[in-house]
Amino acid sequence: MRRVHRTLLERINYLAIYSCKRCHTEDNLPRAHQLHRGKAARCPKCGTFRITRLKDPDRIDPMHTGLLNRLEKMAGGKLFHCRYCRLQFWDRRRLQGEIQAGEAAPLEGAEPEAVPRTEPAAPQTDRPEA
């Protein structure tokens, strides 16, 4: 992998962009503010989705510092813990597993739609009724 020259917009969004010498595919390294986007909560240090929710702050593991973490707490975020970085942080989003379960649950447990029963229509004739 070798580094690729970035445009101004790419410099804002990515720390670095790498290109493979053999297949010419590009891979990027996102900046920290990119980890605060998306549906699911992520570790602000390593970016993993494999985090757990905490009820109370842990006195041993460090708390993530910074403006975005403080804003997440004030916005009503929940406390999470990264098992790899051993870092605690606040986030308003849900866990990735909860989001996937919420999307899959209606499909698995959905009942087939009830087809309204209609009465067969009487055959229409040109003859007047007697």
Residue-level pLDDT at 54: 92
Same-domain check for residues 23 and 43: no
Same-domain check for residues 44 and 20: no
pLDDT at 112 over 70: no
Question: Does residue 59 fall inside a structural domain?
Answer: yes
Same-domain check for residues 99 and 43: yes
Six token digits for residue 82: 């990264």
Residue-level pLDDT at 125: 57
Question: pLDDT tens digits, residue range 63-103?
Answer: 988 888 898 899 999 999 999 989 999 998 888 888 888 77
How many domains are there within the chain?
2
13 contact partners, CB below 8 Å, separation of at least 6? 28, 30, 31, 34
Same-domain check for residues 84 and 49: yes
Same-domain check for residues 25 and 45: no
Question: Does residue 108 fall inside a structural domain?
Answer: no
Residue-level pLDDT at 89: 93
Same-domain check for residues 48 and 99: yes
Same-domain check for residues 4 and 23: yes
The residue count of the chain comes to 130
pLDDT-derived band at 127 (thresholds 50, 70, 90) equals low
Question: pLDDT tens digits, residue range 12-38?
Answer: 777 788 888 888 888 777 776 666 677
* DSSP annotation of 73: H
Residue 95 belongs to domain spanning: 39-103
- Higher pLDDT: 88 or 127? It is 88
Q: Rounded to an integer, what distance in angstroms lies between the CA atom of residue 117 and that of residue 115?
A: 6
Same-domain check for residues 19 and 45: no
